[in-house]
Structure 1
């Protein structure tokens, strides 16, 4: 499916697809509602990438519908997963580069000299949200 594309265009397409799901700028009220600095940092990075890559991404409008659909599907599945990983990581500098095991698992090892890990507090459901049991 991606055989005819230039190698540099594929990463740009993936970044564009992920950035499509970036929400609007966070207001002060929303920050008080539990957004971590990592989440906000991720949003700012994606927003900055979109501004820098905007002209190059315009070329992607000519992608075949099948490819565009595949990229949008990847973004809708991978975007939330990436944000969840960002919520779990306290400081990226405390981690080694990702490692892919023989079975395909991807692991992020904490550096030996990093301070002890403190898990983030679990998110509370918003008032009025139901909890399925």
Structure 2
């Protein structure tokens, strides 16, 4: 909504010189370069106004985000570890699985421990 108001104000500002010229005697012809320069000046001023308005909306939210990020503990997060995993998979029931690219070795369980003679007790 705010963008529409800014755009309407910009268009109104651009139309104001035309409305001001109506009903007056035409001025002597000026070089075409002045009209173009004046138009560019108005466009740049309108763009500045638009960007100021956008910054006014975005700035408070960016400050909130910065405050929230300051509260996080990034010390324990090792981003190099992320390369060890495949992208997350979402199962149909909503579970999310993170699979390692190289599985960890499975330690032998108590039933799989070889005995003194090298045989595995079942």
Does the pair score TM above 0.5?
no
| TM, length-normalised to structure 1 | 0.25
| TM, length-normalised to structure 2 | 0.27
User: Which structure has more RCO (C-alpha within 8 Å, separation ≥ 6)?
Assistant: 1
